[in-house]
Structure formats: C-alpha cells, structure tokens
Structure 1
Amino acid sequence: MSNIHMDSKNMKIEVLVVPVSDVDRAKSFYEALGWRLDADFVTGEDFRVVQLTPPGSECSIIIGTGVTSAVPGSLQGLHLVVFDIETARTELVNRGVDVSELFHDVGGIFHHSGIEGRINGPDPERRDYGSFASFSDPDGNSWVLQEVKTRAAGR
C-alpha cells in the first residue's frame, strides 16, 4: 500500500496528447527543442506511444500512432511559460526553430488567436503574462511562449 496521500480535490494536468502525422519527425523536432525523451513504446504497427517533457515541466506530451483521433496539427495555442522570453526565444532559434518575434496583444490581457491583435515587441511595461512568442511543430500544432517572472497569487 502506498504512503502517498492524494488529495481528491487536486487535479494536475500530467500529459497532453499532440496529434502528429509522422511520429519520428515529431519526435526529432521535440528532442531538438531540448525536451527529455521519457518513453518510446511500440506494441505493433498501429500503436506507438512517445512521451517527451519540456525542461522544468511537470507536464509531458504524448505523440504516437493510435493514441488520438484528432487531426494532426489541430492543437493550437499550447503555452510554455518561461522566466525570460528573450533568452528562451534565442535558445529555440539557435536550435533551428522558426519562432515569431516577441509580441504583446492589443488588449493587453491575453493574445488573440492566430496573429490577430499582435503588436510587435514585448509588453511595454513587461507585465507578467503579457509578452509572447510563438512557433509550430512540423504538423502545425502551435505553441506560445509566455513570460512570467512572478506568478499570480494562488498559482
């Protein structure tokens, strides 16, 4: 019997399933980002599970064959929270990733979908949660870097 206490009120996102068309190509892309390869299990031609975790994250992604019916590239706006968005962007660019320039949103709260409402440059006041950059994986699943230096209360 485990001595780990699980509070039934706590729910943590542990894994996100990312739909891809070519598992090996996606695996190479995410490994090139510096993500840790946690697992690569194949049980047949129709089932493969590959799990990768971004540096410092408690949440992983799963790509694979037979793991989702979602259309490859249909996952949009997944957020990677970083302390220093300029450094994070530069590191991704140095790894060969096509990352947008830094931007903030015209509304100043959260970014709109796609490129609507984007204003070039980081948030002018460098407020937490207000500066972004974006990139996509080879299938078009989109990711957003979001700068947070001090988390909001209760987070």
Structure 2
Amino acid sequence: MDMKLEVVVVPVADVDRAKDFYTGLGWRLDADVTTGEDFRVIQVTPPGSPCSVIFGTGVSATEPGSARGLHLIVEDAVAAREELVGRGVEVSEVFHDAGGVFHRAGTEGRVAGPDAERRSYCSFASFSDPDGNEWVFQEITERLPGR
C-alpha cells in the first residue's frame, strides 16, 4: 500500500505573520479558511513540492516554534540560500557535516561551505520562520538507488 506524506503541521503563534512569511518565500497559498474565532487553517505549498504545510488557530497543540529538522530538498543549496536571502530571510551559511554524512541536530559538527565534492545529500543551509520553526535545505542532485 502506498503511503504519501501530503501535509506537515507547523505550530505558530501569529497566524497572519506566518502567512506573510511563508507566502513571502514564494510558497503558494492553497487555503485560508476560518470557521470561527477558535479555528483557522492556512495551507501553503513550497514550489515543486507534493507536500503542503498547514498552520493556523486550533490546528496544533504543539508549542509554537517547536518544529525542527523540516527538510526542503533542493538541487543547489547555494542558489536556494541566495534566493531566500534575496527575499529578506536570514539563512545560515551553506555547511556540511564534519562526519561527512547527514547533519547533526543543532549546530555541532557543522563545517562551513558545501561538501567539497558536492556529493548528493551532504550540503545544507538552515533558516527559521518568525516563531523559530527550523527548516533545512538539503542538496540532492542524484538520488540513492530505489528513491
């Protein structure tokens, strides 16, 4: 049976501020529905992504800003970083992990610059939304077998 990830819920404190931030990234606004003072759902989708992001009022019991490690796959981490910086977003420098594999939580083990060989899965950059939810660009140019 196929199982497809279609929606990720991101906890935010200020729904309008989050809407402005995510649409300011160039993400498509799919829905903004209010059914009362205690329920509003906004859905946005990153360019080229089959998975959308939802946030709002009454859609998450999780602490605003607590999402970590949300990965956006890009073909070029340097170019993706430059695009968001051009949109006024504070983005980390591109980095790779000291161990040469997937990055660690937080900033420990980060080595400045993309992977020296620009291997797929090995270069990253990170940014946060206004609430502190953390997003990571991961550069993938060639998928592992079976992907």
Classify the TM-score, shorter chain.
over 0.9
Query: Is the counterpart of residue 137 in structure 1 residue 129 in structure 2?
Result: yes
Shift of 1:145: 0.3
Task: Look up the SS of the partner of 1:93 in the other structure.
Answer: helix
Q: How big is the shift at 1:107?
A: 1.0
Give the superposition deviation at 1:88.
0.8
For 2:91 and 2:145, locate their aligned partners in 1 and report how far apart those are by CA, in whole Å. 30
Structure with the greater alpha carbon radius of gyration? 1
Is 1:60 aligned with 2:52? yes
The offset of 1:140, in angstroms, is 0.3
Residues 14-38 of structure 1: CA deviation (Å, up to 9, x unaligned): 0000000000000000000000000
Give the match's secondary structure for 1:42: strand
- How far off its partner does 1:44 sit? 0.5
Q: Output aligned runs, 1:28-107, within 5 Å.
A: 28-107=20-99
| Runs of 5+ unmatched residues, structure 2 | none
Q: CA deviation at 1:152?
A: 1.0
Q: Percent identity?
A: 68
Give the secondary-structure state (helix, strand or coil) at the position aligned to 2:20: helix
Post-superposition offset of 1:80: 0.3
Q: Structure 2 length normalisation: TM-score?
A: 0.99
Q: Residue 14 of structure 1: which of 6, 19, 43 is its match?
A: 6
2-structure distance, mates of 1:91, 1:142? 17
2:104 match:
112
The runs of at least 4 aligned residues of structure 1 exceeding 3 Å deviation read: none
RMSD: 0.5
Q: How many aligned positions are there? A: 147
Query: Alignment partner of 1:49: what SS?
Result: strand
Query: Following TM superposition, by how much is the alpha carbon of 1:151 offset from its aligned partner in structure 2, in angstroms?
Result: 1.0
